[in-house]
Amino acid sequence: MRLTREEEAALRGNRGPAARKAMEIVVALGEVYGAEELVPVSSVQVAGVSYGNIGQAGLEFLSEWAQQGARVVVPTTLNPAGMDLEAWQELGIPEAYALSQLEVTEAYRDMGITISCSCTPYLVGNSPALHEHVAWSESSAVSYANSVLGARTNREGGPSALAAAITGRTAKYGLHLEQNRQARLVVEAACALRSLADFSALGYMVGQRTADRVPYFRLNAGVRPGPDELKALGAAMAASGAVALYHVQGVTPEARLRDVLATDAEVINIESLEEGYESLDGSQRDIDLVWIGCPHASLAEIEHVADELAGRRLKARLWITAARDVLNAAKSRRLTDRIEGCGGRIVADACLIGAPLRELNITSVATNSGKGTFYLRSHQGLQVRFGSLVQCVECAVAGRWLA
Ligand code: F3S
Q: Find out whether 126 and 43 touch, Cβ atoms under 8 Å.
A: yes
d(CA 335, CA 260): 41
DSSP annotation of 42: S
How many angstroms is it from 116 CA to the middle of ligand 1?
14
**Which ligand 1 atom is the nearest neighbour of the CA of 139?**
5
Report whether 170 contacts 164 (CB < 8 A): yes
Ligand 1 touching residue 351 (CB < 6 A)? yes
Cα–Cα distance, 185 to 217 (Å, whole number):
9
Tell me what pLDDT residue 237 has: 98
Q: Is the CB of 229 under 6 A from ligand 1?
A: no
Q: Give dist(CA 170, CA 113) in Å, integer.
A: 17
Residue 235 near ligand 1, beta carbon < 6 Å: yes
User: Of 79, 122, 196, 294, which is best to mutate to test ligand 1, by the most ligand atoms within 8 angstroms of its C-beta?
Assistant: 294
Of ligand 1's atoms, which has the minimum distance to the CA of residue 47?
4
Does ligand 1 lie within 6 Å of residue 97's CB atom?
A: no
| Rounded Cα distance, 385 and 387, in Å | 7
Whether the CB-CB separation of 353 and 371 falls below 8 Å is answered with no
Q: Evaluate: CB of 138 within 6 angstroms of ligand 1.
A: yes
Centroid of chain to Cα 155: 11
> Is there an atom of ligand 1 within 6 Å of 75 CB?
no
In the chain, CATH 3.30.499.10 sits at 5-176, 281-398
Q: Check residue 383 and give its pLDDT.
A: 97
DSSP state of 148: T
Q: What type of residue sits at position 20?
A: R
Residue 238 CA to residue 98 CA, distance in Å, equals 29
Rounded to the nearest 10°, the torsion over CA 339, 353, 141, 317 is -10
First vs last C-alpha separation in the chain:
59
Which of 351, 357, 375, 384 is the best mutation target for the ligand 1 pocket, counting ligand atoms within 8 Å of the beta carbon and taking the most? 351
403 residues of the chain, pLDDT tens digit each: 999 999 999 999 999 999 999 999 999 999 999 999 999 999 999 999 999 999 999 999 999 999 999 999 999 999 999 999 999 999 999 999 999 999 999 999 999 999 999 999 999 999 999 999 999 999 999 999 999 999 999 999 999 999 999 999 999 999 999 999 999 999 999 999 999 999 999 999 999 999 999 999 999 998 999 999 999 999 999 999 999 999 999 999 999 999 999 999 999 999 999 999 999 999 999 999 999 999 999 999 999 999 999 999 999 999 999 999 999 999 999 999 999 999 999 999 999 998 999 999 999 999 999 999 999 999 999 999 999 999 999 999 999 999 7
| pLDDT tens-digit series, residues 109-152 | 999 999 999 999 999 999 999 999 999 999 999 999 999 999 99
CA torsion 111-114-115-120 (nearest 10°) is: -130
Q: What is the pTM of this model?
A: 0.97
The per-residue pLDDT for 40 is: 98
Residue pair 122/228 in contact by the 8 Å Cβ criterion = no
Query: Distance (Å, rounded) from C-alpha 371 to C-alpha 50?
Result: 17
Give the C-alpha separation, 217 to 205, whole Å. Answer: 13
Instruction: Tell me if the bond preceding 159 is cis, omega within 30° of 0.
Output: no
CA of 351 to the centre of ligand 1 (A): 5
319, β-bridge pairs: 291, 345
Question: What single string gives the DSSP state of each residue in 78-140?
Answer: E--BSS-TTTTTTTT--HHHHHHHHHHHHHHHHTT-B----S-GGGTT--PPTT-B-EEESHH
Regarding the beta carbon of 375 and ligand 1, being less than 6 Å apart is answered yes
- For the domain spanning 281-398, the CATH number is 3.30.499.10
The CATH number of 5-176 is 3.30.499.10
Q: Which of 140, 319, 326, 365 to mutate to test the pocket of ligand 1 (most atoms within 8 A of CB)?
A: 140
- What is the predicted pLDDT for the residue at 403? 74
SS3 label, residue 183: strand
Q: Which atom of ligand 1 is nearest to the CA of 354?
A: 2
Residue nearest to atom 5 of ligand 1 (CA): 295
What's the CA-to-centroid distance between 106 and ligand 1, angstroms? 21
